[in-house]
């Protein structure tokens, strides 16, 4: 009889199952989606495609069996509830596995020639594993939402409601943790959010056992009980973990380093042109580079937040590093460990170093055609007196002459030694 239950699941949902497989394989065939080479670990929007179809497949699990007539008919056959659950879950899991394996196979066969040297067993299996994990979670979430109310549409609404509640729970969890003074943990947010769906999946199994033909009120109680238990179990586990972690604090390690002391993937390091010095976000610190070792020269203040999205570090030819931060220009010399701040307007932009790295020109102004150009001597770490009005970005003509467009729209030049004098004549064409 169990074979017939499996056959029933296949017959009722084969279009959806095939859609799951197609959704996993199609992005690979079209050449624009998931890859199984390289070091992609992050989320890809293409995962949404198989995940979305897997959610729909999961939601459809009890679409027919969960109503009064379907349930009565199903249990009028000589079939055990375990067979029904197994047929639904195992078919779904098997389809997801097949989909991921076929996606990996398609990539192995169809990947462009330039990727072939990078495709190996490890990359294929890790890529397929990640795809499997995402799709399986999606299927499980759909399954967990499917047994509360009969019919596809009602189950879809349950899924949407659970999804909304997960988002709400994340915010609530964050606020609660702050209230009781526990540290913020992204994993805890995810787990607390997942309780809705994990509890729902367990409830779906219980409903199959005890209430497939029961009314909505009874099922709601089962769901509430299971989801509540999931949250209680989570709170108990996390409380125990927190107590244990408080009693056994891990050895202190510089944030941004892996356990073996090497730079973690997300640590930012900017290297000097000669490859001998660097500025890194871990610490943050100025470092000397000796082979595969980074030796700290100076630890910077914690407020010195080195991050390329906010402050790009630039190096001069003679080995100074500079970057803008909080209305100042930070000039660092890793050789000596010196660090100097030079005041700079908040709207400063377009920092351009001179060819020899001695000076820096930057623009500040209300709009792109109404700029004031200021000059900084990077060697002495001082802003020069005087500035010029410009209608464009500036450029370096030679080591101490800057070209710009004056307020009349004509090209002009200014020598840094003559900053307080009138600008030099326009260049000859």
Partner 1 sequence: MAASGSGRLAWKLWRETRWWLALLVVVPAVGFPLAASIPETSSGWQILRLLVVYPTAYLVPALAGILAARLAQEDWGAGAYTPSHLPLAAPDVLKASFLLPLVVAALLGLWTGWCSLPGAMHHYAGVFAYCCQWSALTTGCFAMGYVVSAASTKHAGAIYPAMAGNIGPAVLLAFRDRLNHGLDMLPSDPGEWLLVAAFVVAPIVATFVWAASRRKQRFWRQWAAFVAGVLALFVCASPAVWVAWAGGFPGAGFPPFLSEDGSLIVSMTGQFSGRAASGTYCQFTDRRTGVSAKALFPLFVQPLGFAGRDSAVIAVRNPGEGRMSIRAWAHADNTVREVVSIPYNARARFALGTDNTYTGGFVAWVNPAGRWLLLRTRPSNGSGVDLWLIDMKRGKAKIVYPNFQTFAASRATWLRNRAILSGAPPQILVDLPGGKAARYRPKWEDIR
Q: Does 396 bind partner 1 (CB under 8 A)?
A: yes
- How far apart (Å, rounded) are the C-alpha atoms in residues 374 and 315? 19
Classify residue 322 as left (phi > 0), alpha (psi -120 to 50) or beta: beta
Q: Does 302 bind partner 1 (CB under 8 A)?
A: no
Q: Which phi and psi angles does 23 have, rounded to 5°? A: -65, -30
Q: Which stretch binds partner 1 (CB under 8 A): 58-66, 175-183, 221-229, 272-280?
A: 272-280
Cα–Cα distances in angstroms (integers) from residue 296 to residues 229, 271, 286, 312, in the given order? 50, 13, 6, 20
Q: Does 340 bind partner 1 (CB under 8 A)?
A: no
- Least distance to partner 1 from the beta carbon of 222, Å? 28
Q: Does 157 bind partner 1 (CB under 8 A)?
A: no
Q: Is 359 within 8 Å of 370 (Cβ atoms)?
A: no
Nearer to partner 1, 110 or 245 (CB): 110
Long-range contacts of 25-28 (CB under 8 A, 24+ apart): 25/99, 25/102, 25/103, 25/106, 28/103, 28/106, 28/107, 28/110
Among 129, 228, 345, 427, binds partner 1 (CB under 8 A): 427
- Least distance to partner 1 from the beta carbon of 8, Å? 15
Among 62, 107, 132, 362, binds partner 1 (CB under 8 A): 107
Among 161, 355, 369, 417, binds partner 1 (CB under 8 A): 355
Q: Is 342 within 8 Å of 331 (Cβ atoms)?
A: yes
Q: Does 268 bind partner 1 (CB under 8 A)?
A: yes
Q: Residue 187, class by beta-carbon neighbours within 10 Å (0-12 exposed, 13-18 middle, 19+ buried)?
A: exposed
Q: Does 411 bind partner 1 (CB under 8 A)?
A: yes
Q: Does 91 bind partner 1 (CB under 8 A)?
A: no
Q: Does 295 bind partner 1 (CB under 8 A)?
A: yes
Q: Does 250 bind partner 1 (CB under 8 A)?
A: no
Cα–Cα distances in angstroms (integers) from residue 6 to residues 20, 56, 101, in the given order? 18, 19, 21
Residues 168-227 that bind partner 1 (CB under 8 A): none
Nearer to partner 1, 137 or 397 (CB): 397
Q: Does 271 bind partner 1 (CB under 8 A)?
A: yes
């Amino acid at each position: 009889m169990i074979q017939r239950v499996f056959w029933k699941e296949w017959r009722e949902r084969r279009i959806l199952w095939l859609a799951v497989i197609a959704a996993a394989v199609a992005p690979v065939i079209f050449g624009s989606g998931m890859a199984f080479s390289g070091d992609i670990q992050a989320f890809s929007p293409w995962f949404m495609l198989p995940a979305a179809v897997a959610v729909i497949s999961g939601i459809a699990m009890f679409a027919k069996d969960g109503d009064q007539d379907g349930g009565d008919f199903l249990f009028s056959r000589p079939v055990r509830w375990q067979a029904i659950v197994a047929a639904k879950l195992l078919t779904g899991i098997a389809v997801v596995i097949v989909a991921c394996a076929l996606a990996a196979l398609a990539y192995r066969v169809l990947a462009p020639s330039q990727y072939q040297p990078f495709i190996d067993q490890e990359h294929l299996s890790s890529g397929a594993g990640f795809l499997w994990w995402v799709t399986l979670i999606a299927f499980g979430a759909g399954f967990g939402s499917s047994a509360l109310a009969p019919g596809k549409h009602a189950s879809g609404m349950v899924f949407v409601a659970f999804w909304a509640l997960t988002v709400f729970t994340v915010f609530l969890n964050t606020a609660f943790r702050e209230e009781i003074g526990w540290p913020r943990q992204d994993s805890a947010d995810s787990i607390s959010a997942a309780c809705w769906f994990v509890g729902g999946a367990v409830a779906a199994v219980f409903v199959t056992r005890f209430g497939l033909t029961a009314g909505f009120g009874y099922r709601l109680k089962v769901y509430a009980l299971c989801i509540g238990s999931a949250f209680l179990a989570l709170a108990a586990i996390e409380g125990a973990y927190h107590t244990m972690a408080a009693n056994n604090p891990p050895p202190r390690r510089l944030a941004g380093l892996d356990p073996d002391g090497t730079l973690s993937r997300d640590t930012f390091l900017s290297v000097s042109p000669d490859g001998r010095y660097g500025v890194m976000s871990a610490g943050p610190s100025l470092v000397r580079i000796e082979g595969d070792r980074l030796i700290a020269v100076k630890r910077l203040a914690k407020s010195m937040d080195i991050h390329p999205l906010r402050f790009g570090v630039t190096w001069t030819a003679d080995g100074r590093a500079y970057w803008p931060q909080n209305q100042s220009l930070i000039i660092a010399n890793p050789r000596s460990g010196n660090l100097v701040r030079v005041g700079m307007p908040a709207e400063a932009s377009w920092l351009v170093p001179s060819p020899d790295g001695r000076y820096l020109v930057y623009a500040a102004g209300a709009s792109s055609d109404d700029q004031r150009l200021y000059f900084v001597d990077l060697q002495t770490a001082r802003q020069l007196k005087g500035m010029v009005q410009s209608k464009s970005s500036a450029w370096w003509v030679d080591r101490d002459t800057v070209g710009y467009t004056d307020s009349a729209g004509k090209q002009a030049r200014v020598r840094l030694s003559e900053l307080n004098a009138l600008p030099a004549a326009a260049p000859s064409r």
